[in-house]
Structure 1
């Protein structure tokens, strides 16, 4: 085997065993760079460049020539790339034939940053390098963290779904009384102004008694659609009883505006609802109370005020709305059936 063949064989062996090595000639120029080292200089031709111009030697200091570099043989070298990113490196130099040298480099504790910055993988390191084990650990950790993230997402989704189910009326898809019991105290505590509409259906019992509960369910779903269409996304629509509903009109305390909302609800609710070969028809009575965002009004008081106004509407012939006024309390309780 010729000397050239021996050199080539040695270079090939070093590329496999030390993929981050460089070979230097007798004046400190790079005559060969291992494949991984070449990979971290994608835009720079290493062969032919001066080692000390490609790398800055941090320790030992004051190394400015090949002779000084050879004097560091066997010592631990600390270097960094002169080009961005200025990755830190560790190295050790051993003299080679004809005044040259071989410098084996590694990333040391900067390995994780280097893998990220240069998109390196296990194939870029010697099979026996401890870096391989570290990369496996990093990959295992990343896989475990991703699995944990997905599990947390599923658990969070299940929690949200469970909470949503707990606060949702299954028949209409509206909020339920439990949800309202959470929302109203918060609005009162935060001094938010709102109008509260208590809606009760007229003649709903007759639909249930004559046409059956399935027909009643269809009517309730129709009413739910009317209430949603008569409100905004920021408002709250809840079914709080068999045929009772509450709307919280956020930020609106204008009596005329609330009255127009009630008129629309009453008109739309009266639209006959088809069920099998018959038509179901109900009407709605509404009581209104207002929270101005100030004063000592409690949730219980607001609900009681709206309830009293609702029964005033029932007393006045149904299919109408009434705004609560203190005078209503002077009339005493009103008992009117559905």
Structure 2
């Protein structure tokens, strides 16, 4: 200490403040901290004129070293004039009475994360008292926890979706189940979406189960599912609603001729024998058809009940056929 003024070697100053700038009274940078030099790369800081390289954004009106001295101890916001990876700096300046200059101690502020990544800075590039690295550890830990929570939420959502899908699926055939059918019809009726409905009951299926066993019966049910899917479109719903009962709802298909044609094709295909472990499995199908537009106010229960009535009319007429339900409303509609 000389005449009350403290002196410090530049190397020691660099260790204490690796983000410092020592600016002479004429505005030249006499010394720059090692971390600043590393961040600015090939750009020469030492020897350059501070106000040629930087702009003081806050406080306003700082254009000379004397202006900085007047704001002794005030917080500064400083940005490089030339585009570079250092977006902005914050710091504080104190006047140096002996030389008329200022000593500025800077930090990356909220840009420290980007700066560390861009310039490959390490703990050694910061002052021992700087909490920048601790901040980075906290951010990294938070990022890791956030990502783990995101992955956990994705897994939980996937498990939830899978559980919901399983709850709506017939485990043997992979078709929709009764719960899914009820939900679909309820939505379509509420939204006034027209649709045709087929209730399909397998003829002679019990004989297959009794004579060839349940494995053969399961084989037949899966083959029936393939046949029904083959006559439907992406927006239609095929459901297994009982042991050997199926329902198809055809969205936006209400033409009785087209529906009857599809039903006849299903009857013909299901009448073809299938082979299971060398044994011949023979069934047929009876189908009842209803159309939502035949009802003033469609009801899922009413449509299923009427389709069931038409189906049993098929069975009473000899099985292996399809019939369109003809109620009072339907008879008037199709006259």
Q: Across the two proteins, how many residue pairs are aligned to each other?
A: 320
> Partners in 1 of 2:271 and 2:325 — Cα distance?
23
Distance 1:182 1:20, change over 3 A: same
Structure 2 length as normaliser, TM-score?
Answer: 0.83
What is the root-mean-square deviation in Å for CA atoms of aligned residues?
3.2
Q: Is the Cα–Cα contact under 8 Å of residues 239 and 245 in structure 1 kept in the other structure?
A: yes
CA displacement, residues 202-238 of structure 1 (integer Å, 9 cap, x when unaligned): 1101100110111000000111111112211211111
- CA drift at 1:36: 4.2
Distance 1:58 1:235, change over 3 A: same
Paired position in structure 2 for 1:56: 55
Distance 1:118 1:201, change over 3 A: same
Paired position in structure 2 for 1:228: 229
- CA drift at 1:198: 0.8
Distance 1:46 1:248, change over 3 A: farther
Paired residue secondary structure (2:170): coil
Paired residue secondary structure (1:195): strand
Paired position in structure 1 for 2:203: 202
Distance 1:283 1:143, change over 3 A: same
> Partners in 1 of 2:305 and 2:115 — Cα distance?
66
Paired residue secondary structure (1:262): helix
- CA drift at 1:250: 1.0
Distance 1:19 1:285, change over 3 A: farther
- CA drift at 1:44: 5.5
- CA drift at 1:183: 1.6
> Partners in 2 of 1:187 and 1:317 — Cα distance?
33
Q: Is the Cα–Cα contact under 8 Å of residues 68 and 102 in structure 2 kept in the other structure?
A: no
- CA drift at 1:102: 3.4
> Partners in 2 of 1:200 and 1:173 — Cα distance?
18
Distance 1:227 1:126, change over 3 A: farther
CA displacement, residues 227-262 of structure 1 (integer Å, 9 cap, x when unaligned): 112211211111000000111111111222222322
- CA drift at 1:94: 5.2
Q: Is the Cα–Cα contact under 8 Å of residues 201 and 284 in structure 1 kept in the other structure?
A: yes
Paired position in structure 2 for 1:285: 286
> Partners in 1 of 2:296 and 2:17 — Cα distance?
79
Moved more, 81-90 or 292-301: 81-90
Paired position in structure 2 for 1:334: none
- CA drift at 1:18: 3.1
Paired position in structure 1 for 2:117: 119
- CA drift at 1:298: 0.9
- CA drift at 1:95: 3.2
> Partners in 2 of 1:33 and 1:167 — Cα distance?
69
> Partners in 2 of 1:259 and 1:125 — Cα distance?
82
Q: Is the Cα–Cα contact under 8 Å of residues 57 and 78 in structure 1 kept in the other structure?
A: yes
Structure 1 length as normaliser, TM-score?
Answer: 0.82
- CA drift at 1:91: 2.8
Residue 103 in structure 1 maps to residue 116 in structure 2: no
Paired position in structure 2 for 1:3: none
> Partners in 1 of 2:108 and 2:114 — Cα distance?
12
Q: Is the Cα–Cα contact under 8 Å of residues 286 and 321 in structure 2 kept in the other structure?
A: yes
> Partners in 2 of 1:15 and 1:274 — Cα distance?
88
Q: Is the Cα–Cα contact under 8 Å of residues 87 and 114 in structure 1 kept in the other structure?
A: no
Q: Is the Cα–Cα contact under 8 Å of residues 215 and 275 in structure 1 kept in the other structure?
A: yes
Paired position in structure 1 for 2:181: 180
CA displacement, residues 13-65 of structure 1 (integer Å, 9 cap, x when unaligned): 55554343334345323355445435665685545543223332234443322
